[in-house]
């Protein structure tokens, strides 16, 4: 295994921060703290995208995840009761979940190690993509999924309004 | 310039944290957050493989997953709020009306 490059050091820092805060999301006793740890995780994932050369995806990640989805979560937490404490937030038999999650992690690490062999992996040159490349690819090769996603977003918009509306208004 | 297995280990850890959250949490909003963690793990994999193979497809599908995740959170939180309005609680283990 050759020495680490500067980008790999940056990646390791981001990965450690992201992993710790991802674990904190699922272990936090306070729901608002969990949402804020989620912000840290999403930001570090965005940084990983930048390091991988996916500039547009990184900014979309920060705009949509950090900007919109986490705000939605905070709204959801404020509109419902936000209890504090592990006993009210977690199942009593959470050790089964821990067991399954540990099994998934060990299995995935074993699979990755088996398939890609971290000790003789070589770093490929970074595939830098610009926004114009993303746009060309999106509207040339991926038009059909794009339209499907726009239809899905419309359906979700209408569905959310119908679901959350108070019945006595209608 | 980042070796692929490093990124895959990171995403495996994100995914396992999400699995634990989905299984262990009772609060529906926390379950949704854990699902977001798993979707992010998938996106990291998409972008990493797209970068490794020098193809745009990975990033494209990461963008689609982000859009679907946004739709999912919108609908999910609408359901959670409806649940809270009807049951005064959003603990997923207390919602057993359709359970035999």
Give B49-59 pLDDT, tens digit per residue.
999 888 899 99
Whether residue B60 has pLDDT greater than 60: yes
* CB of B35 less than 8 A from some CB of A: no
For residue A11, pLDDT over 70 is answered with: yes
pLDDT at A57: 93
Nearest to A38 among B33, B78, B82 (CB): B33
Cβ contact A101–B16 (<8 Å)? yes
**B70 CB within 8 Å of a chain A CB:** yes
Mean pLDDT of chain A: 88
Contacts of A89 in chain B (CB under 8 A): 25-27, 30
Domains of chain B: 4-86 (1.10.287.3510)
pLDDT score recorded for residue A117: 83
Residue A19 has a pLDDT of: 95
Give A77→chain B minimum CA distance, Å: 7
Q: Which residue of A has its CA nearest to B24?
A: A94
Residue A82 has pLDDT above 80, yes or no: no
CB neighbour class for A79 (10 Å; exposed up to 12, middle 13-18, buried from 19): middle
Which range has the worst mean pLDDT, A117-131, B7-21, B75-89? A117-131
With CB atoms and an 8 Å threshold, state whether A156 touches B30: no
CB count, 10 Å around CB of A80?
21
What is the pLDDT at residue A47? 94
User: What's this model's pTM, rounded to 2 decimal places?
Assistant: 0.90
User: Of B5, B3, B40, whose CA–CA distance to A113 is shortest?
Assistant: B5
A78–chain B nearest CA distance, Å: 10
**Going by C-beta distance under 8 Å and a sequence separation of 6 or more, which residues neighbour residue B44?**
A45, A48, A49, B7, B10, B11, B14
Please state, for a pLDDT cut of 90, what percent of chain A lies above it. Answer: 56
Query: Is it the case that residue A30 has pLDDT exceeding 90?
Result: no
Which residues, including other chains, have CB under 8 Å from residue B76's CB and lie 6 or more apart?
B28, B32, B35
Chain A closest-CA separation from residue B98 CA (Å): 19
For residues A148 and B65, the answer to whether their CB atoms sit within 8 Å is no
| Contact at CB, B5 and A141, closer than 8 angstroms | no
Decide if B47 and A64 are in contact by the 8 Å CB cutoff.
no
SS3 state at B27: strand
Backbone phi and psi for residue B64, each to the nearest 5 degrees, phi listed first: -65, -40
Distance from CA of A37 to the nearest CA of B (A): 10
Query: A54 in helix, strand or coil?
Result: strand
pLDDT score at A169 = 55
Buried b / exposed e across A30-69, counting CB within 10 Å, b at 16+? ebeebbebbbbbbbbbbbbbbbbbbbbbbebbbebbbeeb
Average pLDDT, integer, range A98-122: 89
B36 touches chain A (CB under 8 A): yes
**Which of A20, A92, A141, A160 would best serve as a mutation to test chain B binding (most B beta carbons within 10 A)?**
A160
**Residues of B with CB below 8 A from A69's CB?**
36, 69-70, 73
List the domain boundaries for chain A. 130-170
């Amino acid at each position: 295994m050759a020495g680490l490059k500067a980008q790999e050091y940056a990646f390791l820092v981001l990965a450690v921060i992201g992993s710790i805060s991802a674990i904190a999301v699922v272990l936090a006793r306070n729901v608002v703290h969990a949402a804020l740890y989620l912000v840290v995780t999403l930001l570090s994932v965005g940084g990983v995208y930048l390091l991988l050369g996916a500039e547009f995806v990184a900014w979309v990640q920060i705009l949509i995840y950090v900007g919109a989805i986490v705000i939605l979560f905070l709204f959801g937490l404020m509109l419902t009761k936000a209890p504090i404490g592990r006993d009210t937030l977690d199942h009593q038999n959470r050790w089964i979940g821990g067991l399954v999650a540990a099994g998934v992690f060990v299995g995935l690490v074993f699979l990755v190690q088996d398939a890609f062999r971290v000790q003789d992996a070589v770093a490929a040159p970074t595939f830098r993509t610009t926004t114009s490349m993303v746009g060309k690819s999106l509207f040339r090769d991926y038009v059909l999924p794009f339209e499907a996603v726009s239809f899905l977003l419309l359906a979700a918009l209408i569905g959310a309004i119908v679901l959350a509306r108070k019945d006595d208004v209608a | 310039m980042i070796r692929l297995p490093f990124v895959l280990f990171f995403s495996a850890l994100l995914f396992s944290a999400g699995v634990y959250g989905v299984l262990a949490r009772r609060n529906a909003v926390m379950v949704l957050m854990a699902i977001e963690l798993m979707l992010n793990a998938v996106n990291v994999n998409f972008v990493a493989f797209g970068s490794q193979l020098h193809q745009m497809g990975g990033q494209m599908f990461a963008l689609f997953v982000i859009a679907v995740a946004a739709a999912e959170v919108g609908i999910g939180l609408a359901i959670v709020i409806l649940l809270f309005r009807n049951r005064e609680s959003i603990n997923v283990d207390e919602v057993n009306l359709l359970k035999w």
